[in-house]
C-alpha cells in the first residue's frame, strides 16, 4: 500500500478541466462567479473519436473563451483528448482509427488518453463463439492505438451497464456471464493494461458499478485504481452542484460526493452527457462530453504493480500429452486447485519456465506472445486461466483448467502460477 502511495506521488499533479459544451459554461456561470473565473483559466477538451468527422468538429469547435481573451488557451483550444480505442463490440464507430486521431493531435495537448469499453456478452463479431476476455478486449484497443501507445497517459477501462454490452448482441451459443465472471473480466482488462505499461483507470458510474459488479471494492480500495466517475444523474442541477464541489466552491446547498466501490475520491469526473441548450445541441449529439481530471501521470512514466507468485498455494495437475495429426499440435490440460484456506486475487496466469523445444498456443490456436517481464524468471511464456471470479479460492469441482497447445513435444522445466492485476 505504501508503495502505491509513493508511486502516485511521482505523478505531476495537474488540474485540468476539459469542457466541450459552451452551454454548460453558461449554466456554471449562472451558478457561481468563482467557477466562471476558474473555467476561464482552463483549456477545452473533447472525446474526439466518438465524433464522426472529428477533425471538422475539432477545428470548428468554439473554444470556451473568445479569440483574443487573454485566458484563452493557445490554439488548438483543447488540452485533453481521449480516443475511443475499443467500443466493446466494434473497434471504433467514429470512422477514424484512434491511431490516426492521436497522430494528428497537436503536441500542445497536455493530456491524451484512450479508452476501452468492455463488453460482457461476447458480442463482438470479430471473435464469434469465443470468450472475449478482458485481455482480448484490451488487446483490441492496444492494437487500434498502434504506434501511438507511448503517447497516452492512461487507458480507461469503461464499465457500463449498457444493454448492448451486457445482454443484447450476444454471440449465438455464448453463455451469459455471471456477476463474478463480469468482475473477473474487468480485472483481466486492468491486468492487461498494466502488462502493457498503461495506467488503468476505471470509467464508470455509481449505478453502473453496482449493476455490473455488485459494488466490488477491491479495485477502488485495495488496488487504488483511479476512478473516472460518470455522474449517474441526467439533470443539470446536480451536475452543476458537482462542479461546485469539485472546484472548491462551496454553496451551502451542495451535497458532498459520496464514495462507492472502495473509492473515496475521483481522479476524473464526467459531469453530464445530456446537459444542453440549443447552442451546444450539435456537440452533444456528436457525443462530446464534459470532463475534468485532478491528476494523471506523464505518458510513459507509469510504474505498474507486480504480480504475486502463488505457486505454493496452488496444486497444479498436469494432464497427459495428446498429439493430433491434423494440426500437428500437442495438447495438454492443466488443472489448478487452490489449497485449503488460501485466497488469492486474480486474474490467474500459468507460466511455463524453460520451454525451449516448442512454442505455446492458446485454446483458440493463437500463438502466445505474452512473456514474463517483471516476475523472474523473465521471458517465460504465460497463459491466462479463467477462474470464474476475481478471487481464487478452494471451490467445488470442476476446478479451473486450461488446455495448452504446443507445436512440438514440450519440455518445460518448471511451472508457476501468478495472480493479481500486476505485471507478470
Partner 1 sequence: MRRRTSMNAGHTICYLTIMIAGFLLAWASICNAQLYNVAIDTSSLDGLGTYYVEFQVTAGSAPFGDSQATISNFNLTGGTLGAILPPTQGNVAGSLPGTLILTDGPAIFGPIADFAQAFSVTNTTSNLSFGLQLAASTVNTPIPDGFTFMILDGSQVPLPTTGPTGVEFVSADFTSTTPIPQVYGTASNSPVIIPTPNLTTSTAVPESNAICLLGSLSLSIIRLLIRRRDILKQR
Calculate the CA 114 to chain-centre distance.
9
Site size toward partner 1, by CB under 8 A? 17
Q: How far apart are CA 142 and CA 155, in angstroms?
A: 9
- Which residues 3-62 are close enough to bind partner 1 by CB under 8 A? none
- Residue 312 within binding range of partner 1, rule CB under 8 A: no
Closer CB to partner 1, residue 160 or residue 386?
386
Asked if residues 133 and 386 have their Cβ atoms less than 8 Å apart, the reply is yes
CB of 128 to partner 1, least distance (A): 13
Contacts of 77 (CB under 8 A, 6+ apart): 43, 44, 61, 62, 63, 64
Residue closer to partner 1, measured from CB, 5 or 325: 325
325 scored as a contact of partner 1 (CB under 8 A): yes
Q: Rule CB under 8 A: is residue 322 a binding residue for partner 1?
A: yes
C-alpha–C-alpha distance, residues 113 and 155, integer Å = 6
* 319 is a contact residue toward partner 1 (CB under 8 A): yes
Q: Please, which residue, 281 or 321, has the CB nearer to partner 1?
A: 321
Interaction between residue 320 and partner 1 (CB under 8 A): yes
- Name the segment binding partner 1 (CB under 8 A); options: 78-86, 142-150, 156-164, 316-324: 316-324
Q: What is the DSSP string of 256-311?
A: ----BTTBSS-SEEE--SS---TTTHHHHHTT---EEES--PPTT-----B-EE-G
Q: Is 324 in the site for partner 1 (CB under 8 A)?
A: yes
Are residues 295 and 11 in contact, defined by beta-carbon separation less than 8 angstroms?
yes
* CA 274 – CA 297 distance, rounded (Å): 29
Q: Which is nearer to partner 1, 58 or 382 (CB)?
A: 382
Question: Per rule CB under 8 A, is residue 315 in the interface with partner 1?
Answer: no
Is 364 a binder of partner 1 (CB under 8 A)?
Answer: no
Rounded to a whole number of angstroms, the minimum distance from the CB of residue 317 to partner 1 is 9
Q: Is 163 in the site for partner 1 (CB under 8 A)?
A: no
- CA–CA separation, 390 and 341 (whole Å): 16
176 interacts with partner 1 by CB under 8 A: no
Q: Which C-beta is closer to partner 1: that of 5 or that of 320?
A: 320
Closer by beta carbon to partner 1, 29 or else 403 = 403
8, 11, 14, 331: residue in contact with partner 1 (rule CB under 8 A) = 331
Edge-to-edge order in the sheet of strand 199-205: 16-18, 291-293, 268-270, 227-230, 199-205, 154-158, 111-117, 78-87, 44-47
- Report d(CA 165, CA 162) in Å as an integer: 5
Q: Does 332 bind partner 1 (CB under 8 A)?
A: yes
Piece of the chain touching partner 1 by CB under 8 A; list 21-29, 219-227, 259-267, 315-323: 315-323
Asked if 333 interacts with partner 1 (CB under 8 A), we say: yes
Range in contact with partner 1 (rule: CB under 8 A) among 12-20, 229-237, 294-302, 331-339: 331-339
CB of 356 to partner 1, least distance (A): 16
Q: Of the listed pieces 87-95, 107-115, 264-272, 311-319, which binds partner 1 according to CB under 8 A?
A: 311-319
Cβ density class 325-364: b for 16+ within 10 Å, e for less: eeeebbbeebbbbbeeeeebbbbbbbbbbebeebebbbee
User: 417: buried, middle or exposed (CB in 10 Å: 19+, 13-18, 0-12)?
Assistant: buried
Residue 318 C-beta: closest distance to partner 1, Å: 5
Which residue's C-alpha cell is 464507430? 93
| C-alpha span between 183 and 292 (Å, rounded) | 26
Q: Which of 22, 127, 303, 403: binder of partner 1 (CB under 8 A)?
A: 403
Provide, rounded to whole angstroms, the least separation between the CB of residue 174 and partner 1.
Answer: 13
The residue (of 207 and 353) whose beta carbon lies closer to partner 1 is: 353
Q: Which of 177, 415, 418, 421 binds partner 1 (CB under 8 A)?
A: 415
**What b/e string do you get for 387-405 counting C-beta neighbours within 10 Å, with b at 16 or more?**
bebbbbeeeeeeebbbebb
Give CA–CA dist 307/309, Å, rounded: 7
* Residue of 29, 47, 49, 30 whose CA lies nearest to 39: 29
Binding site for partner 1 (CB under 8 A): 316, 318-326, 331-333, 401, 403, 409, 415
Amino acid at each position: 500500500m505504501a508503495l502505491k502511495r509513493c508511486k502516485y506521488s511521482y505523478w505531476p499533479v495537474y488540474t485540468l478541466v476539459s469542457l466541450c459544451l459552451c452551454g454548460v459554461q453558461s449554466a456554471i456561470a449562472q451558478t457561481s462567479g468563482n467557477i466562471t473565473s476558474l473555467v476561464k483559466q482552463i483549456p477545452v477538451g473533447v472525446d474526439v473519436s466518438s465524433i464522426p468527422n472529428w477533425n471538422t468538429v475539432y477545428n470548428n469547435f468554439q473554444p470556451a473563451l473568445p479569440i483574443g481573451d487573454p485566458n484563452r488557451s493557445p490554439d488548438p483550444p483543447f488540452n485533453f483528448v481521449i480516443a475511443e480505442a475499443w467500443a466493446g463490440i466494434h473497434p471504433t464507430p467514429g470512422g477514424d482509427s484512434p491511431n490516426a486521431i492521436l497522430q494528428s493531435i497537436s503536441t500542445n495537448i497536455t493530456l491524451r488518453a484512450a479508452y476501452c469499453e468492455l463488453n460482457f456478452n461476447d458480442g463482438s463479431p470479430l471473435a464469434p463463439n469465443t470468450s472475449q476476455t478482458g485481455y482480448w478486449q484490451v488487446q483490441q484497443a492496444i492494437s487500434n492505438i498502434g504506434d501511438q501507445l507511448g503517447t497516452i497517459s492512461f487507458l480507461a477501462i469503461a464499465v457500463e451497464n449498457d444493454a448492448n454490452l451486457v445482454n443484447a448482441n450476444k454471440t449465438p451459443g455464448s453463455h451469459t456471464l455471471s456477476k463474478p465472471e463480469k468482475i473477473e473480466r474487468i480485472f483481466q482488462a486492468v491486468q492487461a493494461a498494466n502488462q502493457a505499461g498503461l495506467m488503468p483507470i476505471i470509467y464508470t458510474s455509481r449505478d453502473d458499478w453496482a449493476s455490473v459488479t455488485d459494488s466490488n471494492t477491491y479495485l477502488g480500495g485495495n488496488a487504488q485504481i483511479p476512478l473516472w466517475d460518470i455522474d449517474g444523474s441526467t439533470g443539470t442541477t446536480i451536475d452543476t452542484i458537482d462542479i461546485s464541489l469539485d472546484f472548491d466552491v462551496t454553496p451551502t446547498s451542495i451535497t458532498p460526493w459520496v464514495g462507492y466501490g472502495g473509492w473515496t475520491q475521483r481522479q476524473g469526473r464526467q459531469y453530464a452527457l445530456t446537459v444542453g441548450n440549443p447552442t451546444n445541441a450539435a456537440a452533444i449529439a456528436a457525443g462530446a462530453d464534459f470532463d475534468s481530471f485532478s491528476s494523471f501521470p506523464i505518458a510513459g512514466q507509469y510504474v505498474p504493480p507486480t504480480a504475486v507468485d502463488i505457486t505454493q498455494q496452488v496444486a497444479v495437475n498436469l494432464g497427459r500429452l495428446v498429439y493430433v495429426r491434423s494440426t500437428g499440435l500437442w495438447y495438454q490440460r492443466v488443472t489448478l486447485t487452490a489449497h485449503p484456506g488460501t485466497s488469492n486475487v486474480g486474474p490467474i496466469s500459468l507460466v511455463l519456465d524453460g520451454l525451449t523445444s516448442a512454442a505455446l498456443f492458446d485454446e483458440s490456436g493463437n500463438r502466445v506472445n505474452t512473456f514474463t517481464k517483471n516476475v523472474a524468471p523473465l521471458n517465460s511464456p504465460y497463459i491466462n486461466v479463467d477462474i470464474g471470479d476475481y478471487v481464487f479460492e478452494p471451490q467445488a469441482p470442476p476446478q479451473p483448467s486450461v488446455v495448452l497447445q504446443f507445436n512440438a513435444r514440450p519440455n518445460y522445466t518448471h511451472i508457476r502460477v501468478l495472480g493479481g492485476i500486476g505485471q507478470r
